[in-house]
Amino acid sequence: MEGKLPANLCCPCSASSPSAWMSQPVNRDIDNTQGTMNSSTTDEVTYLRYSGSESEERERPLVREAPWTIHVNGEELVTLLCTPHKMNFMVLGFLAAEGLIGSLDDVALLQVCDEQEGVIEVTLREDGDIPLPAHPVLLSGCGRGVTFDDLSTSHAKLDSSLTVSPKQLSALMRELRHQAKIHRIAGGTHASALADGESLFVVAEDVGRHNTLDKIRGECMFRGIPTKDRLLLTTGRISSEMVNKAIKMEVPIVASLTSPTDLAIKLAQAWEMTIIGYARGGKMNVYTRPDRVIADSP
């Protein structure tokens, strides 16, 4: 069951009603999903194409990367560089990842005003100061991110019986690439998905791989989709912040088309999370908790 929006949640000040705004996609050619904001995900650019000694002028779409500033209870919290797609879901997921909200019930208002592009105003139901540490951590990645979380913070070890076979994972990765619609049109994005062993539940794209996980968490919160005991798939590198976001979603298996970092492996070992890299072409590398990967029948 989808989450029930508070009266003013996700309603921009220029819209007549929440339902009127929520029905508008970011880019009608790309996405028709609730949770988008009135901004295009791509820009058309002109460039000069060289082939040997010859050149010609061409046009093509490029993915947008834009700064969005989140204000919480009237105070500036953070500015994120991201692709303006499923932005309300990303804000919900970011606030949840930072421990500022636990559910939709904690949010009284989330709005974007046309007069101030790139600013998202959030009002939490609880009054008082925002409990953030003094020193944010800048995240690695092509879309510069930030977290106020201490990556050394201990989390409970994952106790999950979830398993996946190489055949299942290969099929899910193919489907993820198929559903990465922005990347197919313009390139330049990472894609991630929440899945079980058979199908994808939620897919998100962004220039920043960590942003995709915030978008997934926010959409799952809105739609009432459990994240516990699911798989997270991503086209990008599995870094420490990706593992940190995954553990907060209680996801026991994270798989990527490319490599994890050494710190990601260390965190995954401590939290007993399964990390899978280079999952493509029917092959994969299992770095931690390999017992969750069940060999296919001959």
Phi, psi of 44, rounded to the nearest 5 degrees: -85, 130
Task: Give the C-alpha separation, 176 to 233, whole Å.
Answer: 8
Phi, psi of 94, rounded to the nearest 5 degrees: -65, -45
142 is catalytic: yes
Q: Write out the two tokens for 291.
A: 């017992």
Angle between helices 209-223 and 240-248 (to 10 degrees): 10
- Pick the catalytic residue from 10, 13, 142, 220: 142
The answer to whether 209 and 242 are in contact (CB under 8 A) is yes
Q: Write out the two tokens for 218.
A: 């926010």
Task: Give the C-alpha separation, 90 to 219, whole Å.
Answer: 8
Task: Give the C-alpha separation, 24 to 174, whole Å.
Answer: 29
Q: Show which residues are catalytic.
A: 142
